[in-house]
Structure 1
Amino acid sequence: MTQDQLVQPTNAAAHLSSPTMRTVRLHAAHDLRLHDEALPAQVPGEVRLKVEAVSVCGSDMHYYHEGGIGPAVIRTPMTPGHEFSATVIGGSGEAYGLPDGTLVAVDPAQHCGHCEQCQAGYPNLCPNVRFLGSPGVDGGLAQFINVPPSSLYPVPPGFSPALAALLEPLGVALHALDITKLRPMSGVTVLGAGPIGLMIAQVAKVCGAAQVRVVEPRAARRAQALHLGADSVHEHYSEVLDATGGRGDDYVLEATTSPGAPEHAALIARIGGRITLVGIPDGDHFQMSAANARRKGLIIKMSRRMGHVYPRAIELVRSGRVNIGGVATHHYGMEGAARAFQDAHEAPDGFLKAVIYPNDLLPEHAAASSSAPTPD
């Protein structure tokens, strides 16, 4: 199946009359399998969805490559996929103002709402969260799924399924800027020009950064950062010190998997500057020397998932203030899910993010289908 081939959509009603659906399960590191499984039972108070598009996240790759993230380890086969969009079906959303056919972005984090963190306004830190696509909680890489209506966000006309799925990583970028507390007309350096880094750079511009620099070793990704509005790109972190006359930058946001990147962030942050660590390091450990960070008096923030940001993320895209569609570079049907994960793991030149279509409705022209809608 080629990337640009249009595959006819599976009929939702026909599949619902069938006892099974296709789903992908990750059994262990590098062991991804396609299964036929029973349809999820309809649960009162939840909306039945036909999954349209699932984008593969960096955290998905940690599960795929390492079999876990810190204490969250795959012990039984899990269905990955927390960045996804879906269509409401079966009349299940009518009571919630979601008629059949509504395309929704899905917030994968189902917070308890009553713990200390939720009550204090930090639902992203809820210790009781059910997070779709993590060990013990199946995600969206299946043809159908049931989700509480509070997790669903209808998207405006013109949003493709891939674009709606990408609202989740945009929310991660938006949350990272929220906790960074960026002051307008300040300088920002972003370490890493993967999907999250590219989105952070754009949101930083929207937040009023005077200068956004992106550090990325891959030439193709540096070019994409420039295309999406970065003021300058650099192959090596030390070039930021040269560009700032040795002062360093006001804010450094790290969005890589490198255990050494937090140390690089500390080295290029100015005295009294702020660092926000967004990436998940390979091996679950990172390095940062104490003396430099302490003597500079750096403020260091750890960013985890997101707060209540979906409405703002949708408006950023609808209004054309950010362009996130371009990160969806590779598209796959359900049979190609294992290839999608392997490609994401190897990340060849030109690769940014894989999008999988569980019901096999690939866009006719994959690159064009992922572009942002024209602003009103």
Structure 2
Amino acid sequence: MGKGGKACDASTQNRAAWLHGVNDLRIQPYPLPPLGPTDVRVRMKAVGICGSDVHYLKTMSCGDYKVKEPMVIGHECAGIIEEVGSEITSLVPGDRVALEPGQGCWRCDRCKEGSYNLCPDMEFFATPPIHGSLADQIVHPGNLCFKLPDNVSLEEGAMCEPLSVGVYGCRRAKVGAETTVLIIGAGPIGLVTLLAARAFGAPRIVVADVDDHRLSVAKTLGADQVVKVSFNKEDVASEVEEIKKAMRKGIDVTLDCAGFEKTVSTAFGATRNGGKVCLIGMGHCNMNVPLTPAASREVDVLGVFRYKNTWPQCIEFISSGKIDVKPLITHRFGFSQEEVVEAFETSARGGNAIKVMFNL
């Protein structure tokens, strides 16, 4: 995958959505790098908008990552193989594939032990200075392209990226048939985490959020109970009691898909003694939370950063019907300058928009 500013020598007929500045997205030529022996060239067909993409558009940063030069946006994607490198044997032109957007170095200790998502030299679509995938075509390692069964659409293939976050969070927390689950936050990641927890067999799932519409969507997608909460930190104690009543028994695992000081405090308070709190959302960097009381109750805290080895399971969940991601795709746009701008504004406004998808 091409780094920002790196010279490329392929056709300039290829186009991509380039981020130039705050609220400045432009469709411009995107020359592709040469096709390596283990690479494939993919024609993009479905690309979703993630919250991190919106952060970059609105602030030119996301967490510690800063956009310092024009960058191609987008990382939730699927497409059709156009060309394969000389050493690729598992894929052929015409194959429909979902793309995993992050490539580890495969040399460091984290990669060698299998935790490539923690690689310090990770190259990840649309994380500066790595270019993303909202383009007509891209070049990507073949081993990060996963063939889709006939009954899985390209849009569903693109949804494997956000779904992977929920699947990996459930894996980290060991969600299963005897695990009661609280999910805090009913945005796109909270909703795919709900779908994943149900697919892993969780017998009872409660979802908490501040927004009535999102809670209604969570209920439609299979939440056993929903609880409306507030932004007010003083409401934590009363809301914890309300959440516990909704669960009807102890909460084994809380998956915080928001990551704010209040939501983490709520997670610690609601989770049973000896339970687990899995931190998926990253809303606040520094927090003042009741960690010592949680530690005294032996509540385990688990961090989640992206995912690893999740695409095959996500595809199987979708193909088998255990997970239906289609209801999450609420808006669709084409790949013109006007539609790209409108799509990102739609995603940024929130409201009834859950997943905004480009059909290229």
Measured against the shorter chain, the TM-score band is 0.7 to 0.9
What is the rounded CA distance, in whole Å, between the counterparts of 2:287 and 2:151 in structure 1?
41
> How far 1:92 moved relative to its partner?
4.8
In the other structure, the counterpart of 2:270 is 268
**Aligned pair partner of 1:212 in 194, 199, 205:** 205
Q: Deviations over 1:199-219 (max 9, x none)?
A: 211221222322100112222
Q: Give, as a single letter, the amino acid of the residue that structure 2 aligns with 1:122.
A: S
How do residues 1-376 of structure 1 correspond to structure 2 at under 5 angstroms?
19-90=12-83, 92=85, 95-236=88-229, 237-238=239-240, 239-244=242-247, 249-256=251-258, 258-281=260-283, 284-335=285-336, 336-348=339-351, 350-357=352-359, 359=360
> How far 1:254 moved relative to its partner?
0.8
2:156–2:326 Cα contact (<8 Å) kept: yes
- The root-mean-square deviation of aligned C-alpha atoms, in Å, is 2.2
1:215–1:233 Cα contact (<8 Å) kept: yes
Secondary structure in 2 aligned to 1:61?
helix
With CA pairs under 8 Å and 6+ residues apart, which has the higher RCO, 1 or 2? 1
Tell me which moved more, 187-196 or 93-102.
93-102
Q: Deviations over 1:202-241 (max 9, x none)?
A: 2212223221001122222212111111111111243203
1:171–1:309 Cα contact (<8 Å) kept: yes
Q: Give, as a single letter, the amino acid of the residue that structure 2 aligns with 1:197.
A: G
Q: Structure 2 unaligned segments of length 5 or more: list them.
A: 1-9, 230-238
Tell me which moved more, 195-204 or 99-108.
195-204
TM (norm. structure 1) is 0.84
> How far 1:143 moved relative to its partner?
0.7
In the other structure, the counterpart of 2:5 is none
In the other structure, the counterpart of 1:373 is none
TM (norm. structure 2) is 0.88
Q: Give, as a single letter, the amino acid of the residue that structure 2 aligns with 1:354.
A: V
2:88–2:142 Cα contact (<8 Å) kept: no
Secondary structure in 2 aligned to 1:271?
strand
Change (3 A) 1:353 1:244: closer
What is the rounded CA distance, in whole Å, between the counterparts of 2:301 and 2:260 in structure 1?
17
> How far 1:37 moved relative to its partner?
3.5
Q: Give, as a single letter, the amino acid of the residue that structure 2 aligns with 1:303.
A: V
Secondary structure in 2 aligned to 1:354?
strand
> How far 1:183 moved relative to its partner?
4.8
Secondary structure in 1 aligned to 2:166?
helix
Structure 1 stretches (4+) deviating beyond 4 angstroms? 91-94
What is the rounded CA distance, in whole Å, between the counterparts of 1:18 and 1:110 in structure 2?
24
Change (3 A) 1:95 1:205: closer
What is the rounded CA distance, in whole Å, between the counterparts of 2:114 and 2:158 in structure 1?
25
What is the rounded CA distance, in whole Å, between the counterparts of 1:158 and 1:107 in structure 2?
20
Q: Deviations over 1:131-173 (max 9, x none)?
A: 1111011110111100111110000003222111001111111
Q: Give, as a single letter, the amino acid of the residue that structure 1 aligns with 2:246.
A: A
1:59–1:280 Cα contact (<8 Å) kept: no
What is the rounded CA distance, in whole Å, between the counterparts of 1:58 and 1:22 in structure 2?
23
> How far 1:94 moved relative to its partner?
8.7
Identity %: 29
What is the rounded CA distance, in whole Å, between the counterparts of 1:326 and 1:304 in structure 2?
25
What is the rounded CA distance, in whole Å, between the counterparts of 1:99 and 1:171 in structure 2?
25
What is the rounded CA distance, in whole Å, between the counterparts of 1:85 and 1:139 in structure 2?
12
Q: Give, as a single letter, the amino acid of the residue that structure 2 aligns with 1:146.
A: V
What is the rounded CA distance, in whole Å, between the counterparts of 1:261 and 1:356 in structure 2?
32
Q: Deviations over 1:300-356 (max 9, x none)?
A: 1110111111111110010000111211111111221122112111102x2101111
> How far 1:184 moved relative to its partner?
2.9
> How far 1:124 moved relative to its partner?
1.2
What is the rounded CA distance, in whole Å, between the counterparts of 2:212 and 2:91 in structure 1?
44
Q: Structure 1 unaligned segments of length 5 or more: list them.
A: 1-16, 360-376
2:250–2:272 Cα contact (<8 Å) kept: yes
What is the rounded CA distance, in whole Å, between the counterparts of 1:92 and 1:68 in structure 2?
34
